[in-house]
Amino acid sequence: MRNQTLPSALPAGDLPPILHADLVGPIVDRRSWVWTIGPAYTGVFIWIPLLDRLGTSMLGETSLAELAVTAVLAAIACHFLLYVVPAAWGWNAGQRLSVVAASTFGAEGSERITGVGLGSAAVLVYAVSLFMAIRLTLLGLLLCGLISPAAIGTWTLGPLVLQSPVALLTCVFWIFITGMVSRLRLVSVITGLMKVYVPVALLLLGATALLTSSGLLTFDAVKASLAGLGLGQGAGVAPGMGSGKAEVFQLIFGYFALSGLLGADWGMAVRHPRDIRIGGWLAIILAGSYCTVLSLLTVAGAVGKLGHAPAGQADGLTLPLTFHWAVFHGIGGVTGGVILMLFGLATLAPGCYAVGIAAQRFSARWPGIARSSWIWLAGLGAFVLVATSWAGQTGQVFGLLGAIFAAATGALVADALRQKLNWPGVLAGWNPPGIAAWAAGVLVGLVPLLGDLLRWPAAQRFQPAALYAFLASACLFLLLSALGLQATPADGPRGPSGPGGRDAIH
């Protein structure tokens, strides 16, 4: 049993429940980036093409080359702005994210943002995972001639777009399977399988781009006809999407924001700071660039192969200029169907992780409800989001999560740099600079979504909003801290800190 001394004067027993659970939880076995950061973050980026929205940026005046360069720059920004500092601080502190973030937001603030907030975000990610897995699998079965289009079409009920009975039954089945994986604590098995499947998925993505590559030669000639293609909000395009480089950057940066903040956990899990650097370079910059650029090339190649602009939503099944559409129409047949189903399997792994995170966070916060009950409650929430098709609005979902967690990461990064990566310990209560900076950053990040609600085009085009949220939060935190508003740990004995600080609690 470990001594529950914290690197501050605050006794572990006085911590909010989620922070206390993270502090006294099992000690992480520190390992190489090859088994931790590498597969984890490569798996994050292999998911981006499957989220289905990068290609819609081709509606703007920007060239394909400029969009590809922007995707690479976004991957670099994800590494240097969102990932590397939280990971280094987690390694230095030897503590999990919620405990590390208690320096930035205070114990109560971290409990809400990295505890309850992270659990709620996990439910959204779970729903998106299920939605995309169902959509990819059913489209694949359709191409293979095993189901009819009517089996996967949507139907409307007032303002709601509801999924078909086949999709809903599939959703219930997969909620049961993924829920049982979490309940039986078999996530480590999924982790092991994904370490094998991730490189396979990378090769599959390359093969998909190769199968549509013949159309790249004629894409520029066809691109002019895309200007008349109307993809409005009703088609599932996020506010402001479809006008070029800023939107590509927003989709990638906003999507990665949550994973970047979780870098504190991954940093704690590796043996040496070089693991953080090497893992980030290869799994975020290299793999991120590879996945996002190939996604764009696949869509462009499909447009070129067809030789004309996609005719709206004529098939009623896929949104034009998305990755799903590119495989469905640009490759098609049994080959396209098998590819879609294989990618569908890849989307279930994040769901297994997400439901486990949601159950862990919520059961720690409200221990009166059993962990197994939280698993099924998360499944119920995900089912509602899938059934109403909101989980398919990935631009909106990750615009929302990007605003919340890019702002949180901005404040945490500013705090870490201000402290020169020397973690000062847990602050009791709420830390005013951290909370104010986070709230301001969230408001900045939500501008495009609010603009859509208010039908304000200028606000809808405020992109990349997640990057602005990060910068606003970081700058405001530094300003408020410089004004002397930063809270300090109470006087008293301090526990071990620095590398391995968590391991010293034993």
Q: Give 256-288 pLDDT, tens digit per residue.
A: 999 999 999 999 999 999 999 999 999 999 999
C-alpha distance across the termini of the chain, in Å: 6
DSSP codes of every residue in 367-425: TTS-HHHHHHHHHHHHHHHHHTTGGG-HHHHHHHHHHHHHHHHHHHHHHHHHTTT----
d(C-alpha 33, C-alpha 489), whole Å: 33
Question: In the 8-state DSSP scheme, what is residue 136?
Answer: H
List beta partners, residue 255. Answer: none
- Per the rule left: phi > 0, alpha: psi between -120 and 50, beta: everything else, 497 is beta
Q: For residues 383 and 175, is the Cβ–Cβ distance under 8 A?
A: yes
CA nearest neighbour of 111 among 21, 28, 25: 21
Is residue 421 a part of any domain in this protein?
no
Is residue 12 a part of any domain in this protein?
no
Stated as kind and residue range, the H or E segment containing 157 is strand 155-157
For residue 331, give both structure tokens: 């490759």
Q: Is the peptide bond before 464 cis (omega within 30 degrees of 0)?
A: yes
Q: For residues 19 and 110, is the Cβ–Cβ distance under 8 A?
A: yes
Is residue 262 a part of any domain in this protein?
yes
pTM: 0.89
Give the number of C-alpha atoms closer than 13 A to the C-alpha of residue 317, restricted to the C-beta side.
24
Domain total for the chain? 1
Stated as kind and residue range, the H or E segment containing 156 is strand 155-157
pLDDT of residue 439: 97
What's the burial of 158, exposed, middle or buried (CB within 10 Å: 0-12/13-18/19+)? exposed
Is residue 15 a part of any domain in this protein?
no
Give the number of C-alpha atoms closer than 13 A to the C-alpha of residue 36, restricted to the C-beta side.
25
Q: What's 42's domain CATH number?
A: 1.20.1740
Is residue 328 a part of any domain in this protein?
yes
- Structural domain containing residue 272: 34-395
d(C-alpha 263, C-alpha 483), whole Å: 29
DSSP codes of every residue in 211-263: HHGGGHHHHHHHHGGGGG----GGGTPPTT-SSSHHHHHHHHHHHHHHHHHTH
Kindly report, residue by residue over 159-183, the tens digit of the pLDDT.
888 888 999 999 999 999 989 988 8
Is residue 43 a part of any domain in this protein?
yes
For residue 96, give both structure tokens: 């999990």
What dihedral do alpha carbons 412, 416, 422, 423 form, nearest 10°?
-10
d(C-alpha 40, C-alpha 287), whole Å: 11
Is residue 220 a part of any domain in this protein?
yes
Give the number of C-alpha atoms closer than 13 A to the C-alpha of residue 58, restricted to the C-beta side.
32
Residue ranges in 57-101 assigned as alpha helix (H): 64-77, 84-93, 97-100
- pLDDT beneath 50, residues of the chain: 1-5, 9, 232-242, 312-314, 490-506
Is residue 207 a part of any domain in this protein?
yes
pLDDT of residue 498: 45
